[in-house]
Structure 1
Amino acid sequence: AVLRKHKPVWMSLHFCHPKEVTPEVARAMDLLADSGVPLGSQTVLLKGINDDPEVMKRLMQELLKVRVRPYYIYQCDPAEGISHFRTRIAEGVRIIERLRGHTSGYAVPTFVVDGPGGGGKIPIGPETVIAYRDGAAVLRNYRGELYTYREPEEPVPVPLKRSSRGNR
């Protein structure tokens, strides 16, 4: 009742492995979601824990099943005592590449690096726009295949018509 009364309440949760999405977690997420609380996850990329694309895919799919939106995958910060959990940024990019086209788009979070010294969240991802040339964009899909997407030559403005009921 308190959560319904004091909207909006948003909740960000940390999940790092699919084994954390237990029946107890599912019940708790149901209670929160049924109370109108939007749920999102922030996952830290951890070497030896979730740096495998299949493990990360399972985690993201399990989160969706319990109504938690996979929102961010964070590059592990360079903090004291946790260097053994850090991966290279390229590992996170590889995971995002493997998620795209192999699971629902809802299960593909944004990979970010928390910029040192207050730089904020910096989105990192596989480059999909390879080039712009001759009025077209050359795009790369999740399989690495290239496609040419023709841009419109000149956008043509569409005149707005007034409805018989006034300005709608």
Structure 2
Amino acid sequence: MIQTSAEVHEASALPCARVVHTGPNAPRTAEMEPLPEGVAAEPIESKSPAQWAYERLILYIQNFESQLDDEHEVAMGFTGGDAGVLRIEGIGYFDPDIVTFYGSDEDGSRNQLIQHVTQLSVMLRALPKAPEVEEPRRIGFRLAADLEKK
């Protein structure tokens, strides 16, 4: 297929995502979904590494939460050491290269993780929702709604 220079330029600006699973009944993943308008509207090359990582993390968290029951909330596990898990209550970024996670641990103590995008590694986990909370808190959907406000 022959493409115009405009088509080649446009295709190079679009993100590429792919996923393969071992079985045919695997749940839908973030890579399978189209980018929300608020994310796709701004060219990737105009985004800082922190902003681009932040936006994609939101998509992964929202997808993960969409598969949870009403008794669980999203949290992230830490690799190495005894840091445990962080119930994700907020995510932010600071250009050009910092992503920050806000939340609490299993005991309810406040936590904040400040991560350089080159060191970013996030394991999403399902934790039972806090006993004092009637409905599970879904941070991914709130974050995605904020992306659409752009």
Whose relative contact order is higher, 1 or 2, with alpha carbons under 8 Å and at least 6 apart? 2
Normalising by structure 2, we get a TM-score of 0.23
